Amino acid sequence: MTIRVLLADDQALLRATFRILIDSCDDMEVVGEATDGDEAVGLAHTLGPDVVLMDIRMPGSDGLGATTAICADPDLSGTRVLILTTFETDEYVALALALRAGASGFLGKDVTADVLLDGIRTVSAGESLLSPLATRSLITRFLATPTPADRLAAPEHLATLTSRERQVMALAAEGRSNDEIAESLVVSPLTVRTHVHRAMTKPGARDRAQLVVIAYQSGLVQAPPPAS
Q: Where are the domains of the chain?
A: 3-143, 148-217
User: In Å, how far are 20, 48, 74, 126 from 101, measured between CA atoms?
Assistant: 29, 19, 13, 16
Whether 201 has a pLDDT exceeding 90, the answer reads no
- Quote the mean pLDDT of the chain: 82
Check whether 149 has a pLDDT greater than 70. Answer: no
User: How many Å apart are CA 154 and CA 192, to the nearest integer?
Assistant: 24
Instruction: State the Cα angle at 127 between 135 and 137, rounded to 5°.
Output: 10
Residue 212's SS3 state is helix
User: Average pLDDT of 107-121?
Assistant: 88
Angle at 212 between CA 22 and CA 186, to 5 degrees: 95
Q: What pLDDT score was predicted for residue 21?
A: 96
Mean pLDDT of the 105-128 span: 86
Please write the tens of the pLDDT for every residue from 67-85.
999 998 999 989 999 988 8
Q: Which CATH class is domain 3-143?
A: alpha beta
Residues linked to residue 105 through DSSP beta bridges, in sequence order:
82, 129
Q: What is the pLDDT of residue 148?
A: 52
Instruction: With cut-offs at 50, 70 and 90, classify the pLDDT of residue 132.
Output: very low
pLDDT at residue 179 above 60?
Answer: yes
Residue predicted with more confidence, 42 or 180: 42
Strongest mean pLDDT among 15-19, 63-67, 129-133, 173-177 = 15-19
Q: Residue 153: what pLDDT?
A: 54
Q: Where does the pLDDT of residue 173 fall: very low under 50, low under 70, confident under 90, or very high at 90 and above?
A: confident
Query: What string of DSSP letters covers 135-162?
Result: HHHHIIIIITS--GGG-SS-GGGGGGS-
Instruction: Give pLDDT, residue 67.
Output: 92
User: Closest Cα partner for 213 from 128, 86, 156?
Assistant: 128
Average pLDDT estimate for 169-197:
88
> Which residues 6+ apart lie within 8 Å of 129 measured at CB?
82, 104, 105, 106, 107, 119, 122, 123, 135, 209
Kindly state the percentage of the chain with pLDDT values over 70: 80
- Residues 6+ positions from 147 with CB-CB distance below 8 Å: none
Residue whose C-alpha is closest to residue 129's, from 101, 103, 91, 97: 103
Position 222 confidence tier, pLDDT thresholds 50, 70, 90: confident
Does domain 148-217 match CATH 1.20.1250.20?
no
Residue 35, pLDDT score: 95
pLDDT digits (tens, 9 = 90+) for 30-46: 999 999 999 999 999 99
Compute CA distances 212 → 54, 137, 201, whole Å: 21, 13, 13
